[in-house]
Structure 1
Amino acid sequence: MIIELLKKCFSEPTVEQHRCEKLAAIALLVEIAMADGSLDDQECASLKKAIEKSHNLTGGELDMLLENAKHEQRNATSSYTFTRVINDEFSAEEKFTLVQDMWAVAYADGNLDKYEEHAIRKLSELIHVPHNEFIRAKLLARPS
C-alpha cells in the first residue's frame, strides 16, 4: 500500500521518486476529502479531477492509487510520512498547487466543513506554505 511504497522511497534508490511524490500528494488530498467524515460523489469527482490535472493519472492507475490512498488514510496515525515527502521534493509552486487542490476538494460538495478547513490549514503549515499563499489558494479555488 501507500505507506509501504513511501518507505521504499527512502530505503531503495531504485524506486521511482516521482511515483512517491504522487502517492504522498494523493494521500493528503484524500485526507482533506475525508476530513468531514464522508466522501461523497462530488468530493470523489473533485479528488479525481485534481489528481488527473496535477499528476497526469487516469483510468485504472488513478482508481488503484485512490483506493489504496483511502485505505492508508483511514489507517494512518500521522500525516508526517506524506508531508515529509512533500517538503523534501516539492517546489513552492507545487506546494501551492497542492493546497489549491485541497481547497477545490473541500469546496466540491458545496459545503466547506470546519474540519476540512482545519485540515487544510494544518497541512499547509506542515508543508511550509506561507499564510498569504494559503489564503490566495483558498480564494482561487472558491467556486464563483
Structure 2
Amino acid sequence: MFERLFPRRKPAPKPLPQPNAQLALGALLVRVALADRNYNAAEVGQIDRILARTFGLKPLEAAKLRATCEALERDAPGTPEFVELLREEVDYADRKALGEAMWSVALADGARDEKEEIQLLAIETALGLTDQDMQIAREDALRNL
C-alpha cells in the first residue's frame, strides 16, 4: 500500500564517460549494427570480438566496453562528433581498418541491408577514407559473407 502512495524514485542514471577514441570506435560499431533496427547476437558478438582484438581485452572486458558504447551511442552526440575524434586521434591505416571492421559488423547477421550500408558509407566518408579503400573493404566483407 505504501509503495503506491510513496513510490521509490529511480536512481539517477550514472553519467556517461567523455568519449575518447576507444569509446567512439565502439559507439560507431554499435551505430552501424543498429542502422537496420535489428541488433542481434551475431552483431553483438562481432562487436565484442573487434573490441577485444583491437584493444587487447578479455571477452568480459570487451562486453562491458560494448555496453558502455551502447549507452553512449544512444545518448551521446551524433556521428560527426565521434568521427572527428577518430580523425584527430587515429592514423589513416587504423581508420581504414575501422571501415573493414564496420563492414564485418554490418554483415555479421549474414544479410546485406541498405540502411546499414548507407550509415557505413557516411561514416567511411567522414573518416576520410578513399573511394578505393571503401570499395576494397566492402568487397572483402562481401567475399567473407
TM-score in terms of structure 2 length: 0.82
Q: Name the counterpart of 1:111.
A: 111
Task: Determine the structure 2 residue equivalent to 1:74.
Answer: 74
**2:17 matched residue in structure 1:** 4
Instruction: Work out which of the two has the higher radius of gyration on C-alpha atoms and give 1 or 2.
Output: 2
Over aligned residues, Cα RMSD in angstroms?
Answer: 1.8
Name the CA distance, whole Å, in 1 between partners of 2:24 and 2:15.
8
- 8 Å CA contact 2:49–2:62 kept in 1: the answer is no
Deviations 1:79-115 (A, max 9, x none): 1221111110111110110000000001110111101
Q: Which has the higher helix share?
A: 1
CA contact (8 A) 2:48 2:59 kept: no
Tell me, yes or no, if the aligned pair for 1:30 and 1:47 is still in contact at 8 Å. yes
Task: Find the aligned partners of 1:2 and 1:120 in 2 and give their Cα distance.
Answer: 28
Letter in 1 for 2:59: G
CA offsets 1:57-95 (integer angstroms, 9 cap, x no match): 223321221111112212234112211111101111101
Is the Cα contact below 8 Å between 2:32 and 2:105 reproduced in 1? yes
Q: Mapping of 1:1-144 within 5 angstroms?
A: 4-6=17-19, 20-142=20-142, 143=144
Extract unaligned runs of 5+ from structure 1.
Answer: 7-19
Counterpart of 1:10 in structure 2 is none
Change in Cα spacing, 1:131 to 1:2, as seen in structure 2 (3 Å) is farther
Larger displacement relative to structure 2 (58-67 or 126-135): 58-67
Counting aligned pairs with the same residue, the percent is 23
Q: Which runs of 5+ in 2 are unaligned?
A: 1-13
